[in-house]
Copies of this chain bind each other. A is one copy, B any other.
């Protein structure tokens, strides 16, 4: 067994890596939507290239958690913290993947004019980005009430997704030349919805970390 202060140091180190990973994912989501709205190929490419760093952090944190569990044999709250980190990095990594998918859509739509300006997708993205940011803050301060509140915002995001879906169908029905971009933008909206789902998972794990209870925050 390792001395308590060393355990705390190592746990802290993993914690900081997780927060770095969270920041990178927030940035990737932000840049991917910005690249889509502004038709910015360079920004899209940055998102795609940076995904490797996010994936490496996931592997490092997972490896670190397993090592710490093996060496320190934590129980109770300490074990829950490590278990929560193991779960959170999975959600964060998937969110990074969705940002990459959005950036790839930017690339695929470069040769087309948008039939109408993108309004609802960036709006949906703003809600989702706020959920991501707030969930990471709730994780840092272990705020279970905030976690529960953030998870409820998934409803707003789901409604925006439905609205965007309906609007895209209407646009495509009226303008067949918009079908290619319409379908791609529908997938973007779905990636955003998926990111919000992952935030809900993160919120459930924040509650677990503090209370030991696994709850279903809004299914």
- The chain A residues found within 8 Å of chain B, CB to CB, are 55, 59, 62-63, 66, 69-70, 73-76, 79-80, 83, 86-87, 90, 97, 165, 168-169, 172-173, 176, 179-180, 182-183, 186-187, 190, 197, 214, 216, 219
Distance in angstroms from A213 CB to nearest chain B CB is 10
Contact B169 A173 (CB under 8 A): no
CA distance A76 to B71 in the complex (A): 10
Instruction: Quote the shortest CB–CB distance from A95 to chain B (angstroms).
Output: 13
20 additional contacts, CB 8 Å, given A168-B183, A190-B190?
A55-B216, A59-B214, A62-B83, A63-B214, A66-B80, A66-B83, A70-B75, A70-B76, A86-B86, A87-B90, A97-B197, A172-B179, A173-B179, A176-B176, A179-B179, A182-B183, A183-B183, A186-B186, A186-B187, A187-B190
- The distance in angstroms between the C-alpha atoms of A12 and B219, with both chains bound, is 30
Please tell me if the beta carbons of B180 and A183 are within 8 angstroms of each other in the complex. no
Q: In the complex, what residues of B have CB within 8 A of residue A187's CB?
A: 186-187, 190
Closest to A67 in B: B79
A173 interface neighbour in B73, B74, B176, Cβ under 8 Å? B176
The chain B residue sitting closest to A197, CB to CB, is B97
Of A74, A165, A183, chain B has the most CB atoms within 10 Å of the CB of: A183
Q: List 30 A-B contacts (CB under 8 A).
A: A55-B219, A59-B214, A62-B83, A62-B214, A63-B214, A66-B83, A69-B69, A69-B79, A69-B83, A70-B74, A70-B75, A70-B79, A83-B86, A86-B86, A87-B90, A97-B197, A165-B183, A168-B183, A169-B183, A172-B172, A172-B179, A173-B179, A179-B179, A182-B183, A183-B183, A186-B186, A186-B187, A187-B187, A187-B190, A190-B190
